[in-house]
Copies of this chain bind each other. A is one copy, B any other.
Amino acid sequence: MAEVLLMPRDTLDTIATPALVLDLARVDRNVARLRAHLAGLGVALRPHLKTAKSVDVARRLFPEGWGPITVSTLAEAEYFAAAGATDITYAVGLSPDKIARVGALIAGGVDMTVLIDSVAQADALGHAARDGVALPGVLIEIDCDGHRGGLLPDDPALIAIADRLRAAGIALRGVLVHAGESYACRGGVGLPEAAEQERAVAVTAAQRLRDHGFPVPVVSVGSTPTAHFARALDGVSEVRAGVFMFFDLVMHGIGVCAVDDIALSVLATVIGHRLDKGWILVDAGWMAMSRDRGTQRHPVDQGYGLVCDVDGVPYPDLIVADASQEHGIVAVRPGSGAALPDLPVGARVRILPNHACATGGQHEAYRVVGSGAREVIATWPRMRGW
């Protein structure tokens, strides 16, 4: 009789650290929550895959085949298109040198939509059209809160851009708004208002275009905070959100999720102690956590991350208080009376990140687990670059 060989399974106790751990049950729960909210509002979701950067994670959004997606780089567009995505919005202002790559995606069968907010960009597309490049649909970026780019909804350039596109035979699809300042809210206060402002500005700009005879099929809004706190989205055709799949400590501080909803963590191993200083040293420094200090000005500053046991249960007030490239300094939050846990050299912890997009970007792959389980059930690669 042949001997049965039992292969040892990878677990959170055995894999090399630091490692990026993804709790799949929490991902699925987070996806279901936003899908249900937006279904109730009667609006489509166009998830932003700049957080996940993984085809395997994207499949949790689209178990029955690709839907519309948003990306932040053309490398993401090319990566997801190669995996079958066919409806992609590149939601960063288009520079002229990137038009040829967009054209190649379209030639490969992808329905591409790009973002502009100037006559110069419309003219660059017009020149490319005359050169025979396959051209994308276009959204005009509208600013609702002074956060970044975009036109104010009453800017004369809005109509001028639409005119230039029409003259060049390029399809204007609509407007796009991102309420980036919603990240300045805390504990949920002000988020319904930020969502309504984002919606109202988008609808106002769309109406201006319609008043000038332009059809506006797409009215695109979104950020994870406003997507969750929107009470009505009349006139909006789609919502973009990215970090909602994973959540993080910034989203918790803003008031969008509970700590228990956070699906992403970094597994680390204790490498030393400075008990005279109340420090435990771990092998996850800023290279593993990212340099993101997004909770620095929150009422609760989480340092470089909130420290949990290997099963994901937070220790009271234990954070990564400081970080070098490959060292994390774990300590009790200043002012807390919590005790430093007894974690000998070799013990393992999981650290919840400030910012899932930034921490994810530091890693090659997700090590996938179920909630509360230690077995690594899959390893999913992440893409990067531009």
Interface residues in chain A, defined as those with a beta carbon under 8 Å from any beta carbon in chain B: 14, 16-19, 50, 72-74, 92-98, 101, 117-118, 120-121, 124, 141, 143, 146, 148-149, 180, 269-274, 277, 281, 283, 286-288, 290-293, 324-327, 329, 344-346, 355, 357-358, 361-364, 384-386
Select A149's contact among B124, B281, B344, beta carbons within 8 Å: B281
Residue of A74, A93, A101, A384 with highest tally of chain B CB at under 10 A: A93
Residue of B nearest to A276 (CB): B152
Give the chain B neighbours of A386 by CB distance below 8 A. Answer: 16-19, 283, 288
Residue of B nearest to A183 (CB): B324
Give the chain B neighbours of A346 by CB distance below 8 A. Answer: 95-97, 120, 124
Select A345's contact among B120, B345, B363, beta carbons within 8 Å: B120
Report the minimal beta-carbon distance from A223 to chain B, rounded to whole angstroms. Answer: 11
Cα A270 to Cα B97 with chains together (Å): 10
Q: A50-B326, A95-B283, A149-B327 are in contact. Are A345 and B121 (CB under 8 A)?
A: yes
Residue of B nearest to A346 (CB): B96
Cα A281 to Cα B180 with chains together (Å): 15
Contact B149 A97 (CB under 8 A): no
Cα A345 to Cα B92 with chains together (Å): 13
Give the chain B neighbours of A96 by CB distance below 8 A. Answer: 345-346
Give the chain B neighbours of A345 by CB distance below 8 A. Answer: 95-96, 118, 120-121, 124
Report the minimal beta-carbon distance from A130 to chain B, rounded to whole angstroms. Answer: 17
A-B contact pairs, 15 of them (CB 8 A): A14-B97, A16-B74, A18-B386, A72-B287, A72-B326, A73-B326, A92-B326, A93-B281, A94-B271, A95-B271, A95-B345, A118-B345, A141-B272, A148-B274, A325-B357
Known: A16-B97, A18-B386, A72-B287. 17 other contacts (CB 8 A): A16-B98, A17-B97, A72-B325, A92-B326, A95-B283, A95-B345, A96-B346, A117-B272, A121-B272, A143-B274, A148-B281, A149-B327, A287-B358, A288-B386, A290-B291, A363-B385, A364-B385
Select A270's contact among B95, B141, B270, B292, beta carbons within 8 Å: B95
